[in-house]
Amino acid sequence: MCFVSVVVSSRLVTFDRSLEEAALDLGCTPFDAFKSVTLPIIAPAVISGWLLAFTLSLDDLVISQFVAGPSSTTLPMKIFSAVRLGVSPEINALSTILISIVTVGVISASLISKRNIARQRADEQKALQQ
């Protein structure tokens, strides 16, 4: 959790509060201002913090064993026990799924970022022409 807070707080430090205040001045409720202004700005930091926490949780097998209850099995514990008994097709499939999800996420984030940059440049060009 500490890693997520460090990543998100670093984004919030550079966050321009006047954007949120402008949304409130224009009639948004505090929740609507958060949803339409703050969340899109901090979303990349939240997602990267989540990915960092997820990756580190896969590495912390001992902590997962202590935190999990006696009847629950976390993903790191399942992977470790399956690998210890021998690599099975289930582990290969799980690894493929995890790698695919991360790859799709990175590509999606890249495309969204490029689209947003292109939209900003187009808006800047329109503003300069007017």
Long-range contact pairs involving 51-54 (C-beta distance under 8 Å, separation at least 24): 51/102, 51/105, 52/3, 52/4, 52/7, 53/1, 53/3, 53/4
Per-residue pLDDT reduced to its tens digit, 6-40: 888 888 888 888 999 999 999 989 999 999 999 99
Per-residue pLDDT reduced to its tens digit, 62-118: 776 777 777 777 777 777 777 777 767 777 788 788 889 888 988 998 898 899 889
Structure pTM?
0.55
